């Protein structure tokens, strides 16, 4: 049976289906991914473009990438839900036949693991937890005064 991954944005206006296993699942700590996500990294699953079908209204933003790495300059395009802004996928002119879906928008990423970390050099010190950080199963009762 062919693997199938479905996903959607926060508001549900954008949905997607990806068929087959991803080429790779990568976590990226580059500055662009940090600003895009609002956190310390993105995690993306790369698929062949033919394997992915996306429905719904997207907006796109493109930028130049690669000037600061070992690969040559390329244009990266990020696609977001036009309504809620969830990042859905990215593509890179260096690998034109591929799209990278954000793992956090996937309904069930069962069987997928991060296989590689890139731009580890730029990983922020706050993007990892110390052993003494309290972990609650849900939002706890808490106010700034408590
Ligand atoms: Zn949305
Ligand atoms: Zn990145």
Domain positions in the chain are 4-122
- Ligand 1 center–CA 77 separation, angstroms: 18
pLDDT digits (tens, 9 = 90+) for 77-102: 999 999 999 999 999 999 999 999 99
Residue 23: closest CA among 98, 119, 117, 120: 98
Write a three-state SS string for 12-50. CCCEEEEECCCCEEEEECCHHHHHHHCCCCEEEEEEEHH
pLDDT of 1 above 80 = no
- Ligand 2 center–CA 44 separation, angstroms: 9
- Ligand 2 center–CA 4 separation, angstroms: 25
- Ligand 1 center–CA 110 separation, angstroms: 23
**In the chain, at which residue ranges do the beta strands (DSSP E only) sit?**
4-8, 15-19, 24-28, 42-48, 52-55, 58-65, 74-81, 87-92, 98-102, 116-118
Q: For the whole model, what pTM was predicted?
A: 0.92
pLDDT digits (tens, 9 = 90+) for 35-56: 999 999 999 999 999 999 999 9
- Ligand 1 center–CA 82 separation, angstroms: 7
Instruction: Indicate the fold that domain 4-122 takes in CATH.
Output: 2.170.150
Tokens of 66: 């690669």
pLDDT of 68 above 90 = no
Give the β-pairing of 116-118 and 24-28: parallel
pLDDT digits (tens, 9 = 90+) for 130-142: 999 999 999 999 8
- Ligand 2 center–CA 29 separation, angstroms: 5
Tokens of 97: 């036949």
């Amino acid at each position: 049976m062919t693997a199938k991954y479905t996903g959607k944005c926060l508001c549900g206006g954008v949905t997607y289906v990806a068929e087959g296993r991803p080429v790779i699942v990568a976590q990226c700590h580059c500055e662009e991914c940090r600003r895009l996500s609002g956190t310390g990294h993105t995690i993306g699953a790369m698929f062949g473009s033919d394997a992915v079908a996306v429905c719904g209204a997207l907006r796109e933003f493109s930028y130049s990438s690669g000037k600061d790495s070992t690969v040559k300059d390329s244009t990266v395009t990020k696609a977001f839900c036009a309504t809620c802004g969830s990042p859905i996928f990215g593509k890179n002119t260096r690998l034109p036949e591929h799209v990278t879906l954000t793992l956090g928008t996937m309904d069930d990423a069962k069987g997928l693991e991060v296989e590689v970390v890139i731009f580890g050099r730029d990983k922020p010190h706050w993007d990892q937890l110390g052993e003494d950080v309290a972990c609650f199963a849900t939002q706890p009762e808490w106010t700034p005064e408590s």
